[in-house]
Amino acid sequence: MQTAKLAKGEEALDLGLVDAIVSPNQLLETARKWALDIWERKRPWIPTLNRNDKVESVSDAKDILKFARAQAIKQAPNLYHPLAYIDVIEEGVVSGPRAGLMKEYETFEVLLRSDTCKALVHIFFARRGTTKVPGVTDLGLVPRHVKKVAIVGGGLMGSGIATAFLLSNYAVILKEVNDKFLEAGIDRVKGKKQICNATLKGKLSEEKFEKALSLLKGTLDYESFKDVDMAVTEDVPLKQQIFIDLEKFCPPHCILASNTSTIDLNLIGERTKSQDRIIGAHFFSPAHVIPLLEIVRAQQTSPQVIVDLLDVGKKIKKTPVVVRNCTGFAVNRMFFPYTQAALLLVEHGTDMYCIDRAFTKFGMHMGPFRLCDLIGIGVAMATEAQFILNMPDRTYKSMLIPLMQQDKRLGETTQRGFYIYDERCKAKPDPEIKKYIEKARDISGVSTDTKLLHLSVLDLNQLEKLSDKDIVEMISFPVVNEACRLLAEGIAVKAADLDIASVMGTSVMF
């Protein structure tokens, strides 16, 4: 309810929102029979308003609602509507159903006029508009049926992508370079971090779990790629050679997709003869959880392949957004100033942990430095290198991340990054990080007592005393500016697509 997600039939039945599930062609007949049974007293008639079989006692309900309020404040500290929902439920439980209905009416009148409501309505329609791509989806093309998917690379991203397809009943071939890596990749898919997580949360029955696993096959060569409909490469080096191999072994209709996050798709496919089949399928980690699929059209990608991948994206329960090829594509390019601005503030005096706290208070799951540790310092370095290479005039060249990589502070994987981590990956600020900041300042020649470029009203030593609002705005506004550039350059078809990419990929919309 708080997430505004649709409840499907079986879930609605479990929640008590509906009395039964029938097929569409039996709906009217069943409804008539039920009405007659109620009239003839063969079936009890209990108005929904008076049902209380799933309602706890008042004292238990209050405890549950108190916990729900605490969770709502923790997850969305700046949102009013989750708390308003809980207030409505409490009124109905404590004062009776009619009082609850009146409270619901009054609350709805207030929420209907709120900015949050307007934003949610916008997202609702914008999400449904991402599959309408001018010059592609208006050509009358019919999506081709994809049955089998091959994935090259079984690392964190590859295994997550495999899981996303398995959970939607696709046959998956997972390729690795040797037995050790292949076994590790399959274990990632089978392990608790992937499919078992879904099982433990009740998303999969044991039967469906076994069926999903039965669709997975591991291999060390390309021989079994001869009947695949789609091949996805994990973000690995030597992509050009991989695509040459895929072109050789995969059937002519096979979609050749890359999960790269920054590498130019035109360069990846320039040595192949099938450039019309090459497309970016950019998943976000963890790939089986994050709902966004960024579809990147290269210079020669055919409309048919885009239509095919749009259809696949919907079938694996992703929200697909089509963008044009550029450094970082849409999401990574839109958010590269996010880390850049944070690094600039830190090197000029702002405490990095204050920055992260400001963003969690703002409502984001984590701040820029905690996020860097999650994705890995190595990935952050590689991404930053692409932007420095392609956008040198708009890139802040901080030495902080290179220094940390040099000392093997690579984030969660090494239990040391901007934070230190225990065995359960719980983050804790690390006092040692100050020496890296000081060294980065020395190398860059940064001083905290000079004037900030373009903000001459602020002394840089005053950056230590920035309010949370100032921190959020100084780091977020460059993201908004970059989004405007993406739209002006035609990388995104429409502004709403960037909103959806931001919300579905990062859980935030500026």
305-322 per-position pLDDT tens digit: 999 999 999 999 999 999
Question: According to the model, what pLDDT value does residue 455 have?
Answer: 41
Kindly report which listed range (23-32, 223-232, 254-263) carries the lowest average pLDDT score.
254-263
26 and 170 fall within a common domain: no
- Please give the full DSSP string across 15-46, using - where no structure is assigned: HTS-S----GGGHHHHHHHHHHHHHTTSS---
Calpha distance 266→328 (Å, rounded) = 13
| Number of residues assigned to the chain | 510
**pLDDT-based confidence at 204, cuts 50/70/90?**
low
Question: According to the model, what pLDDT value does residue 459 have?
Answer: 47
305 and 424 fall within a common domain: no
Give tens-digit pLDDT for 5-23. 678 888 888 877 888 899 9
CATH number of the domain bearing residue 271: 3.40.50.720
Note whether 282 and 293 are within 8 A (CB).
yes
The pLDDT of 136-141, averaged and rounded, is 96
The pLDDT of 123-136, averaged and rounded, is 94
Name residue 437's amino acid.
I
Q: Quick check: is 13 in a domain?
A: yes
Per cent of the chain over pLDDT 70 is 91
Q: Quick check: is 136 in a domain?
A: no
Q: Quick check: is 499 in a domain?
A: no
Q: What is the pTM of this model?
A: 0.83
103 and 186 fall within a common domain: no
CATH number of the domain bearing residue 424: 1.10.1040.50
Calpha distance 450→456 (Å, rounded) = 9
343 and 236 fall within a common domain: no
465 and 395 fall within a common domain: yes
Note whether 323 and 504 are within 8 A (CB).
no
Per cent of the chain over pLDDT 90 is 62
**Overall domain count for the chain:** 3
What angle in degrees, to the nearest 10, is found between the helix axes of 352-362 and 468-488?
70
261 and 350 fall within a common domain: no
336 and 484 fall within a common domain: yes
Domain termination residue (choose one: 95, 126, 157) = 126
Q: Is the pLDDT of residue 480 over 60?
A: yes
172 and 299 fall within a common domain: yes
220 and 94 fall within a common domain: no
423 and 449 fall within a common domain: yes
CA dihedral angle for residue 392, residue 398, residue 399, residue 402, rounded to 10 degrees? -70
Q: Where are the alpha helices (DSSP H) in 79-175?
A: 81-95, 97-112, 115-129, 156-166
Q: Quick check: is 142 in a domain?
A: no
Print the domain residue range for 81. 9-126
Q: Quick check: is 501 in a domain?
A: no
**pLDDT-based confidence at 48, cuts 50/70/90?**
confident
Q: C-alpha distances in angstroms, 118 versus 105, 115, 338?
A: 18, 5, 26
Q: Quick check: is 444 in a domain?
A: yes
Kindly report which listed range (72-86, 280-294, 343-357, 441-455) carries the lowest average pLDDT score.
441-455
Q: Quick check: is 17 in a domain?
A: yes
Note whether 122 and 141 are within 8 A (CB).
no
Kindly report which listed range (55-64, 81-90, 454-463) carries the lowest average pLDDT score.
454-463
52 and 69 fall within a common domain: yes
Question: According to the model, what pLDDT value does residue 394 have?
Answer: 86
Calpha distance 475→472 (Å, rounded) = 5
Calpha distance 216→186 (Å, rounded) = 8
427 and 463 fall within a common domain: yes
Run of H or E residues at 359? helix 352-362
